[in-house]
Structure 1
Amino acid sequence: MDKKSSFAGLSPLVFFLALFMGTGIITGNFTNMPLLLAFIFASGFALLLDKKGEKTSLSDKIDIFSKAGGEPTIILMVVIFLLAGAFYSIADAMGAVSSIVNLGLNVLPANMLLPGLFLVGCILSFSMGTSMGTVTALAPIGVGIATQTGISLPLVLGTVVGSAMFGDNLSFISDTTIAATRTQGVELRDKFKSNLFIVLPAVIITLIILSFMSGGNAQLDTYEYSLVRIVPYAAIIVSALIGLNVMVVLAIGISSGAVIGLAMGDFNMVELFGVLQRGMGWMEDLAIIAIVVGGLVGLMDYYGGINYLLETVLSKVKTKKGAQLGIASLVSLIDIATTNNTISIITAGPLAKDLSKEYDINPIRTASILDIFSSAFQGIIPYGGQLLLAAGIGKISPVEIVPFSIYSFLMIVFGLLSIMFDFSKVRSTNN
């Protein structure tokens, strides 16, 4: 059945953006309007609307919202988010986070501080799957390096933020990776190979640039670490690379972390339950947002808004490259508006999937585009959580850090180049 298109069907999204952005601009703080609350208000607004030329009862609209929010892909994503939170919590509690940071710092050459710091951040963010966790762990160390060597503090913190976005984009347990692969129905390792081919030049160029910007000959302190405590991260990476289901991957990481933590006396069995619950609690807000956004998109689709947006984009798009640029633009704009790259992927995902089908774009490539551009812009918006956190730790303005988030800018450059020159032709492992 052909769907009617209607601009009015997009009004809930316009309402959300006006509410969220307006509150941030007026108050000067974009955290004053919680994302979940803004989406709840937008959903309430959506329930007041009606399909063009038709009258739908409130109970029917609530049913549409509930079915869309409870769509199997979204519910599976919610469960994976909770498991990812549990893994990060247990890795933190049993010392895996501090061990992997300290291991990297111990092999950091004093005359290559910035490239070394960037590599440590890349390894840490890839292992943990959380950019905020990476900034939390490395920013204080970065401040110490800047103080000890005289290297520009904004440059050091920009290096930390850039390395954090590396993991957000590539990690097997990052919520952005999970969202991108689940919305497009592709495998983790396929998206990883596609992304890595695109961003590897950005990593190399970042390291070269940072090597010229490093200075000072200060010797860093010796940091203690335990190779045994890094096992959960190694288990996550290996199991994901061999193609195990993401649920199994996370289960392996959680169980190995639990066994090692119990054996080394980091917590007892009862405390372990609390650690797992704490991590799931960290992801509850995101999980609920994913459900609400799914329901909201379902209503907008019913009202003809998604079809209108698709037709509008398609009217400007004439080629496969144009469609890919459209997907990149859409997810980037939503990230700029919401300051959350995961939510931008969840929101743009359905439209991106439609565009992929329309222009015969490999869904692996679509997942890569969604993840690359949302993560890149997340690393350069001064009111985003990563830059706000880094700036708060360094006691400087986040605007000062933006020009030095070198890797984030290069992600955009090479993302665009990959579209223009058709990089990364990765085949699905299911084929």
Structure 2
Amino acid sequence: MKNGKQDSNSNSFLGLTPLIVFLVIFMATGIITKDFTNMPVLVAFIVVLAYSLCLNKKGEKLSIDEKVDIFSRGGGEPTIILMVIIFILAGAFYSVANAMGAVESTVNLGLSVLPTKAILPGVFMIGCVISFAMGTSMGTVTALTPIAVGMSQQTGISLPLIVATVVGGAMFGDNLSFVSDTTIAATRTQGVELRDKFKMNGLIVLPAVIVTLTILSFIPIGSATLEVGPYSVVKVLPYLSIIVCALAGLNVMAVLAVGISTGAVIGLGMGAFNFVELLGFIQRGFGWMEDLCLIAIVIGGIVELMKYYGGIGFLLEKVTSKVKTKKGAELGIAALSSLIDIATANNTIAIVSAGPLAKDITKEYDIDPRRTASLLDVFSSAFQGIVPYGGQILVAAGLAKLSPVELVPYSIYSMLMIVFGILAIVFGIPNLKRKTDNTKKVES
């Protein structure tokens, strides 16, 4: 490899096979059953872990206990554990906000300012705002899809088009929100700050947003009066608080703590729940993130085993042997994130899985870590909004009683994210001034 930093003699394709086994298990189950949700991701990774513990490095043979120690070091790596804590806090925030009525109020507030003649671009923008505030594309899809179905019935707008537009807006926030698990995963794996990743990321996807709005504005629709439910501006404050705190530069744990506290105080004050019920809602939020936390820990351990077996070095050697330039390395990072998301239908898992590999490539080719974090998030989120077996499209299609495949041709924003993501790599934009201590200044 470049600069001779990697000992090629220790690299081995065998060490890469755990990743291949996972892809085979996941894809084969989906193809055979015609439903990619039938293979739980955590179960698949546990099977891969069992396989990984059966391997041995060439010329060496470790006991199971020694391999478990290697796995534990990877799963218990400080970045992984901190990310787990942040995931749990994010779940608690969304649960409390949902319980005190913030989701419903935020949706209805957005609809109240929506011009009837601009329904499609308006729905997209509302989806962007809500998902950015909530930090969850699934929550946005769940909240907005029933409303989009009603709009379609009132105006005659194509149902697949307006539902796919909701998904597009949801993926915007999933990609950019300060409390999105993808943002947290991308920034944590690359050691960059939330604000810096947001700036880099925003400049890459802004053209996609503008073009999407332009396209949606030119699609003819009927006219009708939209029915908007009640809302309370006070109930929107938890989301506003996390946006303000994140933009002010508070670390992500402080941001989430402020959001949870704001939601709790408002919910208690308005009688949405009592103190005991509040504790239950916080616990419910923790539970929502349990699978993701366990997946992150197991992936961290498997990656550590793959490193020991020489699989990570083998992959980097092969990727970098084909890569001759920094742009080529960036395209490699984008492809890695995209392929894993296509295989797993989960952009957070794609980022967590590709993150350590991307970080090594970043160091090897002196890429701005902020840019790497953005590319990981942009491409994984873009494909997440296109694959018909992805959670967002499955939920949207289910609520609208459509086939998931019907939504894919109308996934305008997600497709444009890929286009402008590639253009950003090819033309080297945005070219923000790089911090000399960027890799040392870690958002915690």
Q: Does the alignment reach a TM-score above 0.5?
A: yes
CA contact (8 A) 1:111 1:214 kept: no
1:231-279 deviation line (CA, Å, top 9, x unaligned): 1111100000011010000000000000000000000000000000111
Q: Does 1:360 align with 2:370?
A: no
Q: Structure 1: which amino acid aligns with 2:46?
A: I
Q: Structure 2: which amino acid aligns with 1:138?
A: L
What does residue 308 of structure 2 align with? 302
1:171 to 148, 161, 177: 177
Task: Tell me by how many angstroms 1:320 deviates.
Answer: 0.2
Q: Structure 1: which amino acid aligns with 2:390?
A: G
1:317-373 deviation line (CA, Å, top 9, x unaligned): 000000000000001000000000000000000110011111100000000000000
Instruction: Find the residue that maps to 1:258 and give its secondary structure.
Output: helix
1:342 to 344, 348, 364: 348
1:324 to 318, 322, 330: 330
Q: Structure 2: which amino acid aligns with 1:186?
A: V
How many residue pairs are counted as aligned between the two chains? 431
1:144-192 deviation line (CA, Å, top 9, x unaligned): 1111111100100110000010011000000000000000000000000
Q: Structure 2: which amino acid aligns with 1:203?
A: V
What does residue 402 of structure 1 align with? 408
RMSD (Å), alpha carbons: 1.0
What does residue 260 of structure 1 align with? 266
Q: Structure 2: which amino acid aligns with 1:30?
A: F
What does residue 420 of structure 1 align with? 426
CA contact (8 A) 1:113 1:214 kept: no
What does residue 442 of structure 2 align with? none
CA–CA distance in 2 between the matches of 1:128 and 1:182?
A: 19
CA–CA distance in 2 between the matches of 1:429 and 1:77?
A: 24
CA–CA distance in 1 between the matches of 2:89 and 2:7?
A: 39
Q: Does 1:161 align with 2:138?
A: no
What does residue 375 of structure 1 align with? 381
Q: Does 1:118 align with 2:132?
A: no
Instruction: Find the residue that maps to 2:38 and give its secondary structure.
Output: coil
CA–CA distance in 2 between the matches of 1:315 and 1:376?
A: 27
Over the matched positions of the two proteins, sequence identity in percent amounts to 70
CA contact (8 A) 1:98 1:225 kept: yes
Q: Does 1:133 align with 2:135?
A: no
Q: Structure 2: which amino acid aligns with 1:236?
A: I
1:172-191 mapped onto 2 (5 Å cutoff): 172-191=178-197
CA–CA distance in 1 between the matches of 2:159 and 2:243?
A: 32
Instruction: Find the residue that maps to 1:67 and give its secondary structure.
Output: helix
Q: Does 1:277 align with 2:310?
A: no
Q: Does 1:213 align with 2:219?
A: yes
1:36-73 deviation line (CA, Å, top 9, x unaligned): 00000000000000011211111110000011000000
Q: Structure 1 stretches (4+) deviating beyond 2 angstroms?
A: 425-431
Describe the shift of the 1:260–1:29 C-alpha distance in structure 2 as closer, same or farther (beyond 3 A).
same
CA–CA distance in 2 between the matches of 1:424 and 1:174?
A: 22
What does residue 20 of structure 1 align with? 26
Q: Structure 1: which amino acid aligns with 2:222?
A: G
Describe the shift of the 1:97–1:64 C-alpha distance in structure 2 as closer, same or farther (beyond 3 A).
same
CA contact (8 A) 1:190 1:428 kept: no
CA–CA distance in 2 between the matches of 1:310 and 1:62?
A: 24
Task: Tell me by how many angstroms 1:430 deviates.
Answer: 5.7
Task: Tell me by how many angstroms 1:405 deviates.
Answer: 1.0
Q: Structure 2-normalised TM-score?
A: 0.96
CA–CA distance in 1 between the matches of 2:219 and 2:283?
A: 43
CA contact (8 A) 1:186 1:428 kept: no
Task: Tell me by how many angstroms 1:223 deviates.
Answer: 2.4
CA–CA distance in 2 between the matches of 1:218 and 1:68?
A: 56
Instruction: Find the residue that maps to 1:213 and give its secondary structure.
Output: coil
CA contact (8 A) 1:155 1:404 kept: yes
Q: Does 1:311 align with 2:317?
A: yes
CA contact (8 A) 1:335 1:343 kept: yes
